[in-house]
Amino acid sequence: MAEISELLWNDGVGESAYREGAASYQSAVIEQYKLCVEMADRVAARRNLANTFFLTLNSALVAALGTWMSGAKPPEPPVLVLVAGLLVVLAVCTAWWFTVRSYRQLNWGKFKVIEALEERLPARAFVSAEWKILEEGRNWRVYTPLVHVERWVPVIFGVAYVLGFAALAW
């Protein structure tokens, strides 16, 4: 935490740098804190949009396959077509998994900055206290972070695709 604080705070800017002193300085810290919390919330919203996109894309692929398979006698595709299709859907699942991972890493950094900002506030409610109450997501009975669940969804789709395409090929 000390390293983040060293990166966060400007050495030459303190209460004395503000015309009205401490009150004005605290107001600036609070405004920056609010901005950081808002940006963390926006990242979560963008992550949800990305998940919705990938879930919709995968659902459309499954629906298209189901429609194709529901025909009276669907044509037998060559194995090469099946392998190519499998590689495409696995690439989509891989991109989804890395997107979830990237958003998780980005939010981790934002929450570390928010935690460092809370050092200068009267209460450290958002990151420090709340995260401790939730046992830092380590006890699934208390709190399971969404990212722990959502990172498995692309893996589950990928495994389902491999099994489905194997069944089609044989």
**DSSP alpha helix (H) spans, 2-78:** 2-8, 22-69
User: How far apart, in whole angstroms, are the C-alpha atoms of residue 157 and residue 155?
Assistant: 5
User: How far apart, in whole angstroms, are the C-alpha atoms of residue 121 and residue 31?
Assistant: 11
In 10 A of CB 103, how many CB atoms?
Answer: 19
* 128 band by pLDDT with thresholds 50, 70 and 90: confident
76 Cβ contact partners less than 8 Å away, ≥ 6 residues apart: none
**Is the model's pTM score more than 0.75?**
yes
The encoded tokens of residue 163 equal: 């099994």
The region of weakest confidence among 77-86, 110-119, 148-157 is 77-86
Find how far residue 108's CA is from the centre of its chain: 9
For the cut 70, the answer to whether the pLDDT of residue 73 exceeds it is no
**DSSP alpha helix (H) spans, 70-151:** 79-118, 130-133, 146-150
What phi and psi, each to the nearest 5 degrees, are found at residue 139? -110, 110
Domain assignments of the chain as residue spans, ordered by start: 2-169
Residue pointed to by tokens 């004005």? 24
For the stretch 103-112, pLDDT in tens is 999 999 998 8
Residue pointed to by tokens 């303190």? 14
